[in-house]
Structure 1
Amino acid sequence: MKLIVKVFPEITIKSRPVRKRFIRQLAKNIRNVLKDLDPELAVDGVWDNLEVVTRVEDEKVQREIIERLTCTPGITHFLQVEEYPLGDFDDIVAKCKQHFGHLLAGKHFAVRCKRGGHHDFTSMDVDRYVGSQLRQQCGAAGIELKNPEVLVRIEIRNQRLYVIHNQHNGIGGYPLGALEQTLVLMSGGFDSTVAAYQMMR
């Protein structure tokens, strides 16, 4: 299972050294949180995304990994993806059909592509071509951009293609250990607890 972790947006506007330090701290936290589930877990990336890869195939363990990441400060959301080398447009269609083809028959759908790197095409070019081919090949009812019944999401980064299965939301905030310690006084009510949680985020 491969996950692409999107960091808290406030981290991305920090200076280069601070940003790298926060990302390294988040990577360290993820390893610590998940090491009992997968001692060989791989966490890579130092700029705006982290890639988390586990070879554990037990679905129960995978669900626990996802659950723990949703509660890890510093993560806005993370994507569950399949990764492939980037081919031509027809290859992208084939990969999308492999994962979404069985969901499209008789349904209205949309294709959303995000792209990073240098290519001789745009994200809209991918959206249009992949959408038109999937509609023809999978028996879809049509394309609906505003409220699709099925959303086909892909990311292209440099020469890699990521087909996105699911998106899981995190709690945001800064990674634990990235900032100085703060003393919080708790009263008998819940206001101070909620305020402390909001500050932590």
Structure 2
Amino acid sequence: MPDYQELILIRLGEVALKGLNRNKFINRLINNINYRLRDLGKYKIYQDQSRIYLENRKNVTEAFPTNEILKRIKDVFGYVSASPVRRFVADEVVLFEQVEKYATELFAQLDSFTFKLETKRINKKFPLRSYDVSSKLGALVLEKFPNTAKVDVHNPDYTLYVEIRDDIYLYHQIEPARSGLPVGSSGKGMLLLSGGIDSPVAGYQMASRGLNLEGIYFHTFPYTSDQAKQKVIDLAKRIGDFSGKFHLHIVDFTEIQLELNDKVPANMLTVIMRR
């Protein structure tokens, strides 16, 4: 068994600025993440200040599927970034052991690389200050890779992040996310899909502001081909990647359209159809 725990750190953005109703948005985000992982397994997901942590439940022996989880939640609205993290006890000796192990796994196969350390010492009981932690860990990496490592504090290839809280969190990867509000936190909306680019873009923007969407498409076969209908279905599936559940209503509009063509003046036809 490793002497650290793998988890995913999810950083909140706009949601963290909410007031007394903040929990409503956070709970919706957690529900949306759970929905994306529903067939992968059940995980412990909890919020602490402006962050959400996702990890294995107690007594779970299976490996934590970090990459698969990141892949599944990358299009979820409501958070700004996520990082795969190693968590271990807040002990100075353990910290140096873990960083050496982490750096070896990360850098051993590289011909050359630049790096820097960034330390946040939230736990003021930890004996070393943030600057001292970064300096000593940087020296450790240089000693471990004397011929390939070089410090670059302005534009490094890798940044190792160390956060000293009740436990220590170590990571280097920050995956940007879609931001916005969690889908379902702002009510429901109906999206009219035509098969062009405007409607799916509008759907994306609506979902990003928290609307739970359903789609509607008016099909006029044989005047509109089945290929056009399939294109709309494909677009609906893509919108569902961002909005989660997305139900598409397909309405056979041919008979109604022919009736309107017969009985509505030509200069009013478009207006009536839009009504």
TM-score (norm 2): 0.62
- The amino acid across from 2:55 in the alignment is V
In the other structure, the counterpart of 2:270 is: none
* Pairing of 1:46-61 with structure 2 (within 5 A): 46-54=48-56, 55=60, 56-57=62-63
Calculate the aligned-residue CA RMSD, in Å.
2.5
How far off is 1:186 after superposition?
3.8
Q: Provide the secondary structure at the position in 2 that maps to 1:148.
A: coil
CA contact (8 A) 1:29 1:175 kept: yes
- The amino acid across from 2:180 in the alignment is G
In the other structure, the counterpart of 1:68 is: 72
Specify whether residues 14 and 87 from structure 1 end up closer, same or farther in structure 2 by C-alpha distance, changes over 3 A only. Answer: same
Partners of 2:68 and 2:191 lie apart in 1 by 30
Find out whether 1:191 has 2:195 as its counterpart: no
* Pairing of 1:104-143 with structure 2 (within 5 A): 106-119=112-125, 122-139=129-146, 141-143=149-151
CA contact (8 A) 1:20 1:46 kept: no
How far off is 1:188 after superposition?
4.9
In the other structure, the counterpart of 2:154 is: 146
CA contact (8 A) 1:23 1:47 kept: no
Specify whether residues 43 and 57 from structure 1 end up closer, same or farther in structure 2 by C-alpha distance, changes over 3 A only. Answer: same
In the other structure, the counterpart of 1:22 is: 25
Specify whether residues 141 and 3 from structure 1 end up closer, same or farther in structure 2 by C-alpha distance, changes over 3 A only. Answer: closer
How far off is 1:46 after superposition?
4.8
Q: Which runs of 5+ in 1 are unaligned?
A: none
Specify whether residues 50 and 62 from structure 1 end up closer, same or farther in structure 2 by C-alpha distance, changes over 3 A only. Answer: same
* Pairing of 1:74-113 with structure 2 (within 5 A): 74-88=78-92, 90-101=93-104, 103=107, 106-113=112-119
Partners of 2:172 and 2:153 lie apart in 1 by 19
Q: Provide the secondary structure at the position in 1 that maps to 2:21.
A: helix
TM-score (norm 1): 0.82
Structure showing greater Rg: 2
- The amino acid across from 1:36 in the alignment is D
Specify whether residues 114 and 192 from structure 1 end up closer, same or farther in structure 2 by C-alpha distance, changes over 3 A only. Answer: farther
Q: Provide the secondary structure at the position in 1 that maps to 2:22.
A: helix
CA contact (8 A) 1:23 1:46 kept: no
Specify whether residues 141 and 35 from structure 1 end up closer, same or farther in structure 2 by C-alpha distance, changes over 3 A only. Answer: closer
Find out whether 1:37 has 2:44 as its counterpart: no
Same amino acid, percent of matched pairs: 23
Which 10-residue stretch deviates more, 29-38 or 128-137? 128-137
| Count of aligned residue pairs for this structure pair | 194
